[in-house]
């Protein structure tokens, strides 16, 4: 049954919007077990475009199917393609949105503390703009706290995402970001990288 979806996905070039639209249509018109079967089958494709459809399905399944969330964390995060990692971030956000961002806080914290950079980055990148999301819109300080905790992350890839996410927040809550940055010890290159990104839109005093 999942082959009907696979056959619609172009494997030449890149059309993420089309891939997402096709995956959404499949998700709306098929059962949970059918979508879970499709997730794993599509992800096994040699074509990243088809794999992306499987990752999207997995994100929508994850709120009701713990094994789907585990698949995202343990399997998809190991994929070598940056394109697939971008969809992992989107899939994680979709899971949090359906769960409710406040209810998803334990998972958000667990993923941010994970030993794999792609897992941590899926959170910092997926939830951008953090303070445009329900719960974090009402509690921007919570978003800042979660992100700031990764300012010395061992991965420059994650630090860049964290810094950019904090910069996003600074456009709406400059005083909040300024107050946070003033508490940082910028003696390390890692923290300074995040500091420079996070403070980029702040007016100089």
Per-domain boundaries in the chain: 1-98, 100-205
Q: Residues near 7 by Cβ (< 8 Å), separated by ≥ 6?
A: none
Residue 205 has pLDDT above 80, yes or no: no
Give the Cα separation of 140 and 136 in Å (integer): 5
- State the pLDDT at residue 1: 84
DSSP 8: T
Domain with residues 1-98, CATH architecture = Orthogonal Bundle (1.10)
Fold agreement between 1-98 and 100-205 = no
In the predicted structure, residue 9 carries a pLDDT above the cut 90: yes
**pLDDT, mean over the chain:** 96
The residue behind tokens 């009701």 is 64
Helix 156-170 to helix 140-148 angle (10° resolution) is 160
Tell whether the model's pLDDT for residue 160 goes beyond 90.
yes
Which pLDDT tens digit goes with each residue over 85-136?
999 999 999 999 999 999 999 999 999 999 999 999 999 999 999 999 999 9
Cβ-based burial of 99 (10 A; exposed 0-12, middle 13-18, buried ≥19): middle
CATH superfamily assigned to domain 100-205: ARM repeat domains (1.25.40.290)
pLDDT per position as a tens digit, 15-30:
999 999 999 999 999 9
The rounded distance, in Å, linking the Cα atoms of 198 and 164 is 6
Whether 204 has a pLDDT exceeding 80, the answer reads: no
Q: What is the mean pLDDT of residues 37-55?
A: 97
């Amino acid at each position: 049954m999942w082959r009907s979806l696979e056959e619609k996905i172009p494997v030449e070039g890149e059309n993420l919007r089309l891939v997402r639209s096709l995956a959404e249509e499949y998700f709306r018109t098929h059962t949970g077990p059918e979508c879970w079967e499709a997730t794993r089958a599509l992800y096994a494709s040699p074509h990243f475009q088809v794999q992306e459809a499987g990752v999207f399905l997995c994100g929508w399944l994850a709120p009701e199917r713990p094994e789907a969330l585990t698949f995202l964390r343990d399997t998809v995060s190991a994929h070598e393609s940056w394109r697939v990692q971008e969809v992992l971030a989107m899939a994680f956000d979709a899971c949090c949105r359906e769960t409710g961002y406040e209810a998803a806080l334990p998972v958000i914290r667990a993923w941010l503390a994970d030993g794999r950079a792609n897992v941590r980055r899926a959170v910092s990148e997926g939830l951008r703009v953090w303070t445009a999301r329900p719960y974090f819109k009402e509690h921007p300080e919570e978003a800042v706290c979660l992100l700031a905790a990764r300012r010395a992350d061992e991965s420059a890839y994650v630090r860049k995402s964290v810094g950019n996410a904090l910069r996003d927040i600074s456009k709406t809550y400059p005083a909040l970001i300024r107050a946070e940055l003033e508490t940082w010890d910028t003696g390390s290159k890692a923290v300074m990288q995040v500091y420079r990104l996070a403070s980029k839109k702040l007016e100089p005093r």
